Amino acid sequence: MSDVTGEDRRSGTSLPARLWEARWYLLAGLAAVLVAYGFGPGRAWALPLAVLLLFAALFSAKPRAVRIAEKAGEVDAAGLQRLSGEYLAAAVADPLIIFDRNTTVVHANAAAFVAFGGMSPGLSLPLKFRAPEMQALLDSVVSGRVASDALDYLEKLPVERVYRVSASSVGHGTELFVLVFKDQSEARRIDRMRADFIANASHELRTPLASISGFIETLRGPARNDAAAREQFLQIMQNQTSRMARLIDDLLSLSRLEMKPYLKSGARVDLRQTLESVIDSLSPLARDSNLVVERDFAEGPLDVPGDRDELFQVFENLLENACKYGQAGGRVAVSVARSQAGPEPTVDVTIRDFGPGIAEEHIPRITERFYRVDVETSRAQKGTGLGLSIVKHILTRHHARMSIRSELGNGAAFTVHLPAN
Ligand code: ADP
């Protein structure tokens, strides 16, 4: 059994709907039947007429949906006829240039003006875009050899940009052609970053792997019967596998952060409690580094919106770095203060060490993946070069920011500014 819904009736596709559409034919047929039987055999012509009308109702009535679509088609076609090329070009967000058979500009949209400067009608395109591949592209469509063609085009000034340029003829017999520039610079930049990242990660993994493989060879060969050397080499191999494991953990951390779409809203993190746990968990490292961890927490509740595990990871990374790289200073200060300095109130957590500090030129790049001020020191400290980029990622998800103040010889202070609400 099928049910006719209001939607079916409106769309006019089912049998009852079609009968409804043809109601006037049917009424006329009914009237003809009544006339035939009401007024006697003299009206015998009415019966065939009724049958004819019934057939007409069933097979000729056009569904309403079809009629509406046809009407819309007529309106669209009329609208399209009135639509000018200029309006259409203005509605396109990418640079678009309409040109004629002589490859001179007929019209350029606003995006083309912004991207390429002067683009007045009459300008010769081969003079504007001198690259030979652009000339070839223009020639191929103007000559009619192909209806459309595309290429990658590099624009060096005012800033370097890569475009996918497509050229095609417009309509039939208009003698007009169009060039559309799709900016690919951002996609290329992301591709390059991804390739660099994979190259860096592979290099970081390959170094300990090469070392392990070298020691295995030595152990099977010259050091086969040397118990002392075997012990020493196995220790090195174990260190190298730990290094690889740390790197893989950090890589997974980064990729998990990238996969997580957004933070759960509503959760709040008690910073006082979180920082105390971080300090506790790193107390063996602080003790081994002969460091005293000092606290200076503002009075009252210190909670902010966020994810407790992620903020724990932020402070753990910063405090670990302070202990590793600022060991010489003998102490690390962890402070929490409320701030009204920015447009929104924040709670600022500062982790400050009194070690050698960071030279100014490194500070802007220090949160980049695999960036280290000194690779050997980082490796000696079991660093992966990913800690601060994980920190940055988490803070972005928290709409927070980090400021770094440092002077060579005077330690470094990393301040995390977390929105209070
Ligand atoms: P790593 O795993 O090498 O520690 P990070 O991303 O955590 O990687 O830090 C990047 C680099 O920043 C480190 O290699 C180190 O050179 C520098 N750095 C980080 N914190 C400090 C600090 N408190 N003092 C001096 N240098 C630091």
Q: For each of the chain's 421 residues, which pLDDT tens digit applies?
A: 444 333 444 444 566 766 777 777 777 767 766 766 665 555 666 667 767 776 766 666 566 655 665 665 565 666 666 667 888 889 999 999 999 999 999 999 999 999 998 888 999 999 999 899 999 999 999 998 888 999 999 988 778 899 999 999 988 778 899 999 999 999 999 999 999 999 999 999 999 999 999 999 999 999 999 999 999 999 999 999 999 999 999 999 999 998 887 788 889 999 999 999 999 999 999 999 999 999 999 999 999 999 999 999 999 999 999 999 999 999 999 999 999 988 999 999 999 999 999 999 999 999 999 999 998 899 888 899 999 999 999 999 999 999 999 999 999 999 999 999 9
Tokens of 411: 């330690």
Task: State whether the beta carbon of 384 lies less than 6 angstroms from ligand 1.
Answer: yes
Residue 353 exposed, middle or buried by CB count within 10 Å (0-12, 13-18, 19+): buried
User: How far does the centroid of ligand 1 lie from the alpha carbon of residue 287, in Å?
Assistant: 20
Task: State whether the beta carbon of 353 lies less than 6 angstroms from ligand 1.
Answer: yes
Counting every residue written for the chain, the total comes to 421
On the CB side of 222, how many CA atoms lie within 13 Å of its CA? 5
**pTM metric for this prediction:** 0.69
Residue 191 exposed, middle or buried by CB count within 10 Å (0-12, 13-18, 19+): exposed
Mutate to test the pocket of ligand 1, among 285, 325, 332, 414 (most ligand atoms within 8 A of CB): 325
Work out whether strand 96-100 and strand 176-183 pair parallel, antiparallel, or are unpaired.
antiparallel
Tokens of 355: 């070690």
User: How far does the centroid of ligand 1 lie from the alpha carbon of residue 320, in Å?
Assistant: 9
Task: State whether the beta carbon of 329 lies less than 6 angstroms from ligand 1.
Answer: no
Atom nearest to 386 CA in ligand 1: 6
d(CA 280, CA 127): 69
Residue bearing the CA closest to ligand 1, atom 2: 383
State CA 242 to chain mean position distance.
33
Task: State whether the beta carbon of 387 lies less than 6 angstroms from ligand 1.
Answer: yes
Tokens of 229: 């050397």
d(CA 19, CA 307): 62
The H-or-E segment that residue 177 falls in is strand 176-183
Contact (CB, 8 A) for 357 and 408: yes
Residue 343 exposed, middle or buried by CB count within 10 Å (0-12, 13-18, 19+): exposed
Mutate to test the pocket of ligand 1, among 388, 408, 414 (most ligand atoms within 8 A of CB): 388
- For residue 401, the cross-strand partners are 417
Candidates 411, 289, 293; CA nearest to 356 is 411
Mutate to test the pocket of ligand 1, among 319, 365, 368, 373 (most ligand atoms within 8 A of CB): 373
On the CB side of 53, how many CA atoms lie within 13 Å of its CA? 18
